[in-house]
Structure 1
């Protein structure tokens, strides 16, 4: 038992297809704008201070550092 696709089906199909395309385009534009806003905020933030480093040892003692193998 075969069914035929009526003109009413194609009208609804085209309507739903264009509605889905419109929603997709709008949501893509919104998410792109949101991602761009986040990226710009991160670029404007001051850089984090470098972590504290351990003090360097003085090399002026005249002794060599022992190396173990």
Structure 2
């Protein structure tokens, strides 16, 4: 005994697909923003800027 897929089924399927796709995009964007915020917060302050004398260090002493 088989059942046929009615137009109501496809309509409901399309609506649920759009809803869950939108929810997935919103949740992933929220998690991404949270991770970026946490990574920026944990970055040490001394790595944000370098002084000129650090950039011009000699490579080797002879």
Check whether TM > 0.5.
Answer: yes
Determine which structure has more spread, i.e. the larger CA radius of gyration.
1
Large movers: runs of 4+ above 6 Å: none
Q: Give the C-alpha shift of residue 9 in structure 1.
A: 0.2
Query: What residue ranges of structure 2 are gaps of 5+ in the alignment?
Result: 48-62
Can you give the 5+ residue segments of structure 1 that lack an aligned partner in the other structure? 48-69
Aligned to 1:39: 39
Relative to the length of structure 1, the TM-score reads 0.62
Q: CA RMSD in A?
A: 1.7
Alignment length (residue pairs): 47
